[in-house]
Each structure stands twice: as structure tokens, then as C-alpha cells.
Amino acid sequence: GSICTTRVISGIGVPQITAVYNASQAAADSNTTIIADGGIRYSGDITKAIAAGAHIVMLGGLLAGLDESPGERVLYQGRTYKAYRGMGSLGAMVQGSSERYRQGGAEKGNGKLVPEGVEGRVPYKGSLSPFLYQLIGGLRAGMGYCGAKTIDELRTEARFIKVSPASVRESHPHDIAITQEAPNYTAEYKTVDGN
């Protein structure tokens, strides 16, 4: 997810959409629940994760700025944020999550813990209810564009294509100074090449 460093620290990991698809294919004949854990920045990412085979999506970073999420509100340079940290961050490990990362015996505070996450702040987003309405609306729109009336139909009707960094930029508003942000979109998105 957005707060996780596991892939760069351990060298282990797979891009989320690939992981979800591969897991769903491997579990096709079982009653295994597939969870998309990471990579969800917009409602469209939920649509893609479910279409790839996820039954559930984890939305840690996406929900972290809401009133109902843990974390202190912080005013920084005139904007309101909420503190956010992952369970693999040093602060969380010192407070007890180190067992989860098989580091329960490590001495606390002497640099021997090996964190797999960071601590930071995310923009404050207000209450969950209107935010959730936008997420559900985006999922419904994606299903409609695929001609799907149900989640199962979404999984069979959706088609995936590879996209380039240029096409990702093209997917977002461009060549304009946004004067009125939409409730379901932020212009803080950066592509893999940083633009």
C-alpha cells in the first residue's frame, strides 16, 4: 500500500493487479477470499481490483484522511492533514506490531528493528459517508461501462490492457489549471515517471 516499503526493503512483491489476478486464478476452484491490499487510489482502482478477481479491497491510505480513521489532525502550511502510519512502520513496531514481521525478539529503540513501512500525513478528507458515496458511484460507473449488472458479470465482461506512462497522464485532467476540484479526484497523482 501507500505507506508500505516491503517491496523495496525485502525485494519481494508483485504489482497489486497482477497479484490479485494470479491469486484469483490459483484459487478459482476453492472457496478462498481474495483481498486486494494496496494500489487503490481512486474508485476506478476498486473496479479494476474486483474485475481482476478480488472479493475485498483494503483502503488504508484512501480512508486515512477521514474523520472516522485513527490519527491526529495536523495543521501544516495552512492545510489540514491526518497522521498516518502503517503497521510495518518503526513507530508501530515499537508499540507492538513487530511480532507480525517476525521481529518480536528485536530490542526496541536500538535500531535493530527492520521497518517495512513509513509514517506520514495525508490530506484531511472529512466524513466517511460522502466519500464512500463517491467510491460506490465510481464502482457503479465502471460496472456500467463494462455492461455488468453484477460483480460476477464485471469479472467476466471486463478487459484489461497494458498502459504506458503517457496513457496514464492522458487518463487524468491535463493541460488545464483545475479551479474546482471534484469530490472524488485529487490532482496530486504522479505517474511512474514523476509527471
Is residue 125 situated within a structural domain?
yes
Q: What is the mean pLDDT of the chain?
A: 88
Positions marked active-site: 4, 100
Give residue 33's pLDDT: 97
Is residue 1 situated within a structural domain?
no
Is residue 75 situated within a structural domain?
yes
Q: Which structural domain, as residue segments, surrounds residue 48?
A: 6-171
Confidence of residue 105 (pLDDT cuts 50, 70, 90): low
Domains identified in the chain, total number: 1
Is residue 44 situated within a structural domain?
yes
Give residue 103's pLDDT: 60
Residue 90 belongs to domain with CATH number: 3.20.20.70
Confidence of residue 89 (pLDDT cuts 50, 70, 90): confident
- Over residues 103-109, the mean pLDDT reads 55
Instruction: Tell me the sheet residues that pair with 85.
Output: 119
Give residue 91's pLDDT: 82
Is residue 134 situated within a structural domain?
yes
Is residue 35 situated within a structural domain?
yes
Give residue 195's pLDDT: 41
- Over residues 36-58, the mean pLDDT reads 96
Give residue 190's pLDDT: 42
